Amino acid sequence: MTEPDTTGPTGETTTSSRADTENERASAATKLTIGLAGVAVIIVVGLVISIVMAFRSDDEPLVSLDPSTDTGATAQLDDLKFMPEPVFGKFERVVYVPLDPNGVILSETLDSSNRPAEQAPSGVILQRIHGNMDLPFSTSDGPTGFTDNGVATGFARTPQGAALAAAHYVAYLISGDNRAEMVAEAGHSSDPAVLMEGLRMRDNSAVTASPMVNVNFHPDLTLVKLGATVERSNGATEIQVTKIPLVWREGTGWVVQLDSTALSSEFEPLSSEGWQQWW
């Protein structure tokens, strides 16, 4: 079927339409690049930011394992699976160094299926995987295994599992082309090529999970917000936020949607609701 010709004598309408289409595509790619750049600003180790945790008292430790939810993680630390002593990571958090560079899968515990969305996953510890990636592992919501190329998988179809998956997979996406390719090859992100054109990170760059989490959960499509407090150039302290959309795919689990318009970076006031510190 032939479409009607809507151009004028000089064909200007067709040329304009094509230009508009190309501009829209370029704009979409730019927005996605800005989104991942925002992730890099929040997560990349070595970035100097002012950390002001508005959701804890001054004498409360930055990271602790709640005895009521710690159901197995600490017990495994004596099983010769980790280096003898932990280290301090970014944000002064305790990080355990596994002997296996991929990390250590923690013994699973069964949590109630009707947990509140704001309840932390059980038995969370930060592990330094692949030499310089400080990422959270739990006993309740995954991971439960690794892909052939060493990417953690098996995160639960829960708010907690989605948040853990987002922390892992975004870390790969912003720590160099080689790691972005790893998570895409493992099937846990869409093709990152167009984004990496505008976000040139050195291969194997060090990253650490953002300390703040806010989850808008749906079992099929979830929006995870990762954040850290920063002092802006105008002197205001706000939460720098990166929004990460994840779709659930049967047989694969959570997958980061890099082509989604929901992927973005912004700032929120410290008074914003829904933020948790799970690791």
Asked whether residue 137 carries a pLDDT value surpassing 70, the answer given is: yes
Quote the domain boundaries for residue 182: 40-60+70-268
Mean pLDDT score across all residues of the chain: 79
Mean pLDDT of the 224-252 span? 96
* Residue 16: pLDDT over 90: no
Three-class SS of residue 233? coil
pLDDT band of residue 76 (cuts 50, 70, 90) is low
pLDDT higher than 50, residue 140: yes
pLDDT of residue 110: 75
How much is the pLDDT for 34?
A: 45
Range 47-64 burial, b when 16+ CB lie within 10 A, else e: eeeeeebeeeeeeeeebe
What is the number of domains present in the chain?
A: 1
Q: Is residue 120 part of a domain?
A: yes
Is the predicted pLDDT of residue 45 greater than 50, yes or no? no
How far CA 160 is from CA of 50, 137, 279, in Å, comes to: 26, 11, 11
Q: Is residue 200 included in any domain, yes or no? A: yes
Asked whether residue 186 carries a pLDDT value surpassing 50, the answer given is: yes
Evaluate whether residue 157 is within a structural domain.
Answer: yes
The model's confidence at residue 222, banded by pLDDT at 50, 70 and 90, is: very high
pLDDT of residue 115: 87
pLDDT value at residue 265: 92
Residue predicted with more confidence, 199 or 95: 95
Helix orientation angle between 159-173 and 177-185, rounded to the nearest 10 degrees: 140
Q: What is the pLDDT of residue 223?
A: 98
- The pLDDT assigned to 47 comes to 33
pTM of the model: 0.76
Predicted confidence (pLDDT) at residue 9 exceeds the cutoff of 50: no
Task: Please report the pLDDT score of residue 79 as a whole number.
Answer: 62
Mean pLDDT over residues 101-119, rounded? 87
3 inside domain: no
21 falls within a domain: no
Residue 236 counted as domain residue: yes
Q: What angle (nearest 5°) sits at the alpha carbon of residue 47, between those of residues 151 and 246?
A: 35
Distance in angstroms (rounded) separating the CA atoms of residues 128 and 97: 5
| Highest-confidence segment of 30-44, 60-74, 115-129, 180-194 | 115-129
Per the model's pLDDT, the better-predicted residue between 68 and 208 turns out to be 208
Q: Is residue 257 part of a domain?
A: yes
Helix (H, G, I), strand (E, B) or coil at 140: coil
